[in-house]
Amino acid sequence: MTLTPRRSGWIEVISGSMFSGKSEELIRRLRRAEIARLPVAIFKPKIDDRFSKDEIVSHSQQRIESSTVDDVNEILNLARDAAVIGIDEAQFFSHEIISVVKELARVGKRVVVAGLDKDYRGKPFGPMPELMAEAEYITKTLAICMQCGEPANFTQRLTRDEEQILIGETDIYEARCRICFKPPEE
C-alpha cells in the first residue's frame, strides 16, 4: 500500500498564519519536483506584488519563478503541460480556485497550494477551508508569537484598517499565539 496516489492527481495544502513558512515550504516542494525533472508550473495572484511580480518570494528571501494570474481560470490553460502545479497566496483568489484545483487533480496533476487559513480577525479566509476539505494532504505551519515566543497560529493586524485584504508585511502584521492575539472588535 502506498500513501501517494499512483493513478490520479492530488491536492496538497500548506496553510497557517503570516510568517509561518508557507511560501518557503511551497518553494521547497516545487524545487524537489524540478530536481526530479518533473515539468512544474507556478502561479500567484496579481494582487500580491510585495517582493516581485514574476517570482514567489518567502520572508527568508527564497525565490522561485512564477506566473502572475488575474483570473484563476487562466491556470487551467497555462498548466496544461505541467505535472506539478504550485499556487501561492490562494486566499486571494476567488472561490473558483476550488473547481480549478479539483480539475487539475482529476486530470492527473499534483497541485500544491499555499495560503493563509485565517484572516486578521481569526476567521476562515476565502477559499482556504474548502481547499483544505478537498486536499489529500494538509500541512499546517506555525510561526513564533512576536509578543511572547510561543507557537503562533494567528495573524495580528497592527492597523485599524477594516478591509479583509490588505497587502503588507511586518509594518502591518505580526504573528501571534492564541493568548496574545487580539481580534478587532466587531
Residue tagged 476567488 (cell numbers): 94
Is residue 75 a contact partner of residue 100, using CB atoms and an 8 Å limit? yes
Looking up cell 502584521 gives: 173
Question: Which DSSP letter does residue 124 get?
Answer: B
Q: Is the dihedral angle over the CA atoms 148, 153, 159, 160 positive or is it negative?
A: negative
> SS3 for 184?
coil
34 is catalytic: no
Q: Give me the catalytic one of 12, 89, 134, 174.
A: 89
Angle ∠(34,39,44) on CA atoms, nearest 5: 85
Specify the residue for cell string 479566509.
125
Q: Which residues are catalytic?
A: 89
